[in-house]
């Protein structure tokens, strides 16, 4: 049997991971999910019922709108953009971007939602609040010649950037808001009614998916949505506990995410086992294929641990799953966890 090269396997798994990440974005872009995010994070929507909010959401664009100058403004691009382009920058897309409407005057708000696995500056290479500020700035500046023209700044639309982060500690689930405010350094306070047009929101979900339900209704729903569990269990929980209607579109998005999660894991295990066998064969027949299989098993366990840690599963839970899936002792599982 011809064994694929390690590079080819890594590329395949990377592609599957990218597809899984995209499926998570597609699920978050479901209007039933978006409506609940808006209701429980933004003042403009807190008094509206879910169905009314759903009816006021335009069709979201997922990973289609570029963040960089010269690309965000799709209407202008079709006409020949005059916005400054930044040479040499990589392509960066908003995860989810859409417009929503509220109030008797039908106020339009431009909204961006991002799924973020880590808030750790040492892992990211930057502080998350700086990135949020940049995204908000791009959503403001890209409105020129689309939402308003020349000096008609009173037609500037409010922007909201909501970040769903998945690395909070056991008791660190939270929702925080970033906004502009007014300080009077001298004299009478001015009337500045539009400084609330720029707001960011950070929703921190807990990485340990076996904790009790969050006391916050939105966080509890999002953690249930992204938890690793069988699709039918997830559907029932979301329907009975959080009121999501399991229509055809929502079910499809859930199935895609859950199925791809399993594919990513299985491909990672397969890569580890095959790579170990290949290395064992290359080291010579005298060492035996059995050693290669043993190394492959170790690679498979390593891939399993890395995948679960990537999904913010606690080491205690990973240890139990290792024992069950690979038929190893708790001591052996602890040894693998301590080594990685």
Alpha-carbon span 271 to 274, nearest angstrom: 5
Residue 44: the pLDDT is 94
Mean pLDDT, residues 291-310:
72
Q: Which helix (H) or strand (E) holds 155?
A: none
Hey, how many other C-beta atoms are within 10 angstroms of the C-beta on 184? Answer: 8
Nearest to 301 by CA among 281, 272, 330, 324: 272
Question: What residues does 176 pair with on adjacent strands?
Answer: 202
Tell me the two tokens of residue 136. 């908000």
Give the pairing type, strands 107-116 and 158-168: parallel
Contact predicate 71/77, CB 8 Å? yes
Contact predicate 34/101, CB 8 Å? no
Give residue-wise pLDDT tens across range 152-206.
999 999 999 999 999 999 999 999 999 999 999 999 999 999 999 999 999 999 9
Residue 200: the pLDDT is 97
Contact predicate 48/32, CB 8 Å? no
pTM above 0.85, yes or no: no
Q: With bands split at pLDDT 50, 70 and 90, how would you rate the model's confidence at 105?
A: confident
Q: Is the pLDDT confidence value at 80 over 60?
A: no
Lowest mean pLDDT among 5-14, 128-137, 236-245, 331-340: 5-14
Judged by DSSP in three states, 200 sits in strand
Give residue-wise pLDDT tens across range 4-39.
444 455 445 445 666 778 888 988 999 999 999 999
Q: Give the max Cα distance, the chain.
A: 88
Alpha-carbon span 198 to 159, nearest angstrom: 5
DSSP state of 98: E
Q: Is the pLDDT confidence value at 292 over 60?
A: no
Alpha-carbon span 79 to 75, nearest angstrom: 7
Question: What residues does 162 pair with on adjacent strands?
Answer: 113, 201
Q: 3-state DSSP helix/strand/coil percent for the chain, to nearest 5?
A: 50, 15, 35
């Amino acid at each position: 049997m011809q064994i694929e090269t390690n590079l080819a396997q890594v590329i395949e798994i990377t592609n599957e991971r990218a597809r899984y990440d995209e499926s998570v974005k597609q699920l978050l872009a479901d209007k039933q999910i978006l409506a609940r995010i808006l209701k429980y994070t933004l003042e403009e929507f807190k008094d509206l019922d879910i169905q009314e909010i759903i009816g006021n959401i335009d069709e979201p664009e997922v990973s289609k709108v570029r963040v960089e100058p010269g690309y965000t403004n799709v209407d202008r691009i079709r006409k020949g953009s005059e916005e400054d382009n930044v040479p040499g920058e990589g392509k960066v897309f908003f995860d989810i971007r859409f417009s929503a409407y509220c109030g008797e005057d039908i106020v339009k708000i431009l909204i961006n939602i991002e799924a973020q696995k880590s808030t750790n500056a040492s892992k990211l290479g930057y502080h998350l609040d700086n990135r949020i500020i940049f995204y908000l700035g791009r959503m403001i500046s890209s409105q020129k010649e689309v939402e308003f023209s020349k000096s008609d700044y009173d037609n500037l639309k409010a922007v909201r950037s909501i970040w769903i982060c998945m690395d909070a500690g056991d008791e660190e689930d939270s929702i925080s808001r970033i906004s502009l405010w007014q300080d009077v350094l001298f004299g009478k306070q001015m009337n500045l009614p539009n400084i609330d047009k720029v707001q960011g929101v950070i929703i921190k979900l807990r990485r340990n998916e076996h904790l009790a339900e969050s006391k916050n209704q939105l966080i509890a729903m999002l953690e249930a949505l992204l938890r690793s569990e069988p699709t039918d269990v997830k559907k029932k929980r979301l329907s009975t506990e959080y009121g999501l209607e399991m229509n055809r579109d929502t079910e499809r998005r859930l199935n895609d995410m859950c199925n791809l999660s399993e594919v990513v894991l299985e491909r990672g295990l397969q890569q580890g086992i095959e790579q170990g066998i290949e290395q064992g064969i290359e080291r010579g027949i005298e060492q035996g294929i059995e050693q290669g299989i043993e190394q492959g098993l170790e690679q498979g366990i390593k891939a399993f641990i890395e995948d679960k840690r990537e999904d913010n599963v606690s080491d205690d839970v990973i240890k139990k799953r290792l024992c069950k899936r690979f038929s190893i002792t708790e001591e052996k599982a602890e040894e693998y966890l301590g080594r990685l």
